[in-house]
């Protein structure tokens, strides 16, 4: 439990390095942390989908030109 809490504090400081000096509320820092994590997961999903779609388009072209289309 303590390790998880310290990890969240460290991550919060990475996102809002001056949170302590400005007196940022804990809920605000948690919101920023959640938003950053959420946006990172969306970006990773987009990368995966983009790679998959490029692969599938290439595969369809290959099938078309080799005559293996169903």
Over the stretch 10-39, which tens digit does the pLDDT of each residue have?
A: 666 665 555 555 555 677 777 777 777 787
In the prediction, which pLDDT does 37 show? 79
Burial classification of residue 12, based on how many CB atoms lie within 10 Å of its CB (0-12 exposed, 13-18 middle, 19 or more buried): buried
Give the rounded percent of residues in the chain with a pLDDT score beyond 70.
50
Model confidence over 40-57: pLDDT tens digits?
787 887 777 777 666 677
């Amino acid at each position: 439990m303590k390790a998880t809490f310290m990890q969240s504090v460290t991550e919060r400081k990475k996102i809002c390095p001056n949170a302590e000096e400005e007196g940022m509320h804990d809920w605000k820092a948690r919101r920023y942390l959640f938003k950053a994590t959420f946006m990172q997961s969306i970006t990773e999903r987009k990368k995966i989908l983009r790679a998959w779609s490029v692969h599938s388009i290439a595969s369809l072209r290959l099938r078309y030109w080799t005559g293996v289309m169903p």
